[in-house]
Amino acid sequence: MKRGTIIVLSGPSGAGKSTLVGEVQKVMPDLQFSISCTTRKPRGAEKHGVEYYFLSEEEFVKRINAGEFVEHAQVHANRYGTLKSEVLERSRRGEDVILDIDVQGAMQIREAARKDAELAAVLQFVFIAPPSYEVLEKRLRGRQTDSEEQIAIRLGVAKKEISYWKNYDYVVINGDLKQAADDMTALFRTFRLRTGVVCGEELLP
Ligand code: 5GP
């Protein structure tokens, strides 16, 4: 019996995290995202309990006070948080779970793992980076109809986030999508072979 790995995945907007994970899921279909809570409003066809648990400010604060989050942070103008129940329970069931969270949240999970051996044994920190600032800028421009000011703000935020890369255990550079997806698949497969995810003391039945 094996525990699932909790993969903390961060990277700036424009690094291509969701596209990359989508590629990996084609060959590892049981790899799923953890569902975070947020106070932001649903966008487009987003549904409660699918992309996020959409909560009011009051509900979010109630959950903070009840100690339900393993981490929570303010990102842009909204709150985001990962429920303890989403990660440890799923790992115990043997499911690998990806946490697409910002650098502040990732650092809080690192801190929490210092006092929690079970969490520490199944955690992996992966940073996704664009191949250059030039490419990142192009991707941000190509994405939508942001104003010059908004693009400058996003680039500033991205630079700050990228400065955290050394706090992660692995870095995947997403220049060529196929290469990056192959690298990430190899990495995630390796996570399943770690001794730390084997439950109990006996290796063989
Ligand atoms: P969006 O609102 O575009 O879905 O996400 C905005 C940002 O919030 C992304 O950078 C994403 O990584 C981050 N985020 C999403 N869920 C969580 C969470 O549970 N905790 C933290 N700390 N950040 C999150």
Please classify residue 196 by burial: count the beta carbons closer than 10 Å to its beta carbon, then call 0-12 exposed, 13-18 middle and 19+ buried. middle
Residue 2 backbone phi and psi in degrees, to 5? -120, 145
What is the model's pTM?
0.94
Which protein residues touch ligand 1 with a CB less than 6 Å away? 36, 40, 71, 73, 75, 80-82, 100-102, 104-105
Comparing C-alpha atoms, which of 177, 127, 197, 135 is closest to residue 26?
Answer: 177
Residue 116 backbone phi and psi in degrees, to 5? -140, 95
36 with 53: CB under 8 angstroms?
Answer: yes
Domains of the chain, first to last: 6-196 (3.40.50.300)
Encode pLDDT of 43-63 as tens digits.
999 999 999 999 999 999 999
Residue 109 amino acid letter:
I
- Give the number of other CB atoms < 10 A from CB of residue 67: 8
What string of pLDDT tens digits covers the 205 residues of the chain?
899 999 999 999 889 999 999 999 999 999 999 999 999 999 999 999 999 999 999 999 999 999 999 999 998 889 999 999 899 999 999 999 999 999 999 999 999 999 999 999 999 999 999 999 999 999 988 876 678 888 898 899 999 999 999 999 999 999 999 999 999 999 999 999 999 999 888 988 8
Residue 163 has a pLDDT of 97
Mutate to test the pocket of ligand 1, among 7, 46, 102, 146 (most ligand atoms within 8 A of CB): 102
Contacts of 46 (CB under 8 A, 6+ apart): 52, 54
Tokens of 154: 């996003």
Nearest CA to ligand 1 atom 23: 101
Residue 142 has a pLDDT of 84
Residue 173 has a pLDDT of 97
Encode pLDDT of 114-128 as tens digits.
999 999 999 999 999
Tokens of 107: 């650092």
